[in-house]
Amino acid sequence: MHAEDSKKTLYVVGIGPGGRDQMTIRADRVLRECSVIVGYPVYLNLVREDYPKARFLSTPMRQERERCLMALKAAAQGERTAVICSGDSGIYGMAGLTLELAGEFPEVEVSVIPGVTAAVGGAAVLGAPIGHDFAVISLSDLLTPRETIEKRLRAAGEGDFIVCLYNPASRNRSGYLEWACRILMEYKDSGTVCGLIRQIGRQGEEAQILSLSELRHAQADMFTTVIIGNKSTREERGRMVTPRGYTNG
């Protein structure tokens, strides 16, 4: 399934949560060899200077389908092409859509290059909050019915999972984080240790540790990742830590 030497390969590359140094050595090597790099404009700007030989193509936000087709066409024309995604390429990323659309381009092989997703990058900034079983849930109801999101929040609460929330808010959606916190407070103590990270690994990075009841009223935007602890999560000298149990054993 690895075809980094094939002529007509489209790479779907996760560039990690921040700038170039948060991507893997493999992702960097792949991008260096590409003549076309496709992505959402904000992410292209993060890497543009690092790959001066590539042509950069983009489509506006939400036009993910057009972006994938643009990349598949470039690859089919023999360009060494990559689609880049913030964080990982598969987690709410472009890998799935690219693989779905690739059926129309049988000559193109799709190679998925993983990256550090926001929950993992954000966790490292906070300390070690996801040291045990966790659930990742997107609060975006653009493609998922709100009842499905609520069902998953309740299931994650029921199972005492650590919960990582993606897309806690956007320009057109406010109040979703408060809604999610209220649901989780039916299962988790209001004092549960939580963390909030903005602009992971980028200029303006901010991290905050707070209780679940405080999180309910916190400000979030589309560059925010939220981590809600399980019942063992605690604050240790300013870091958020969920133990696996070693120190108890």
Which residues in the 30-89 window bind its own copies by CB under 8 A? 64-65, 88-89
Name, in order, each residue with C-beta under 8 angstroms of 28's C-beta and a sequence gap of 6 or more.
Answer: 20, 50
Dist CA 71 CA 77 (whole Å): 10
Contacts of its own copies in 133-172 (CB under 8 A): 133-138, 143-144, 148, 151-152, 154-156, 158-161
User: Closest separation between CB of residue 214 and its own copies, Å?
Assistant: 20
Q: What's the Cα-to-Cα distance from 166 to each of 124, 142, 175, 176, rounded to whole Å?
A: 16, 13, 14, 11
Among residues 25, 49, 172, 203, the one that binds its own copies under rule CB under 8 A:
25
Among residues 57, 91, 212, 226, the one that binds its own copies under rule CB under 8 A:
91
Contacts of its own copies in 166-225 (CB under 8 A): 207
Dist CA 120 CA 227 (whole Å): 10
For its own copies, the closer CB: 52 or 103: 103
Dist CA 241 CA 15 (whole Å): 26
Contact range with its own copies by CB under 8 A, out of 40-48, 73-81, 132-140, 169-177: 132-140
Confirm or reject binding of residue 115 to its own copies (CB under 8 A): yes
Dist CA 213 CA 223 (whole Å): 21
Confirm or reject binding of residue 26 to its own copies (CB under 8 A): yes
- Evaluate whether 163 touches 228 at the Cβ level (below 8 Å): yes
User: Closest separation between CB of residue 189 and its own copies, Å?
Assistant: 17
Contact range with its own copies by CB under 8 A, out of 24-32, 53-61, 175-183, 209-217: 24-32
The tokens describing 62, both together, are 């939400």
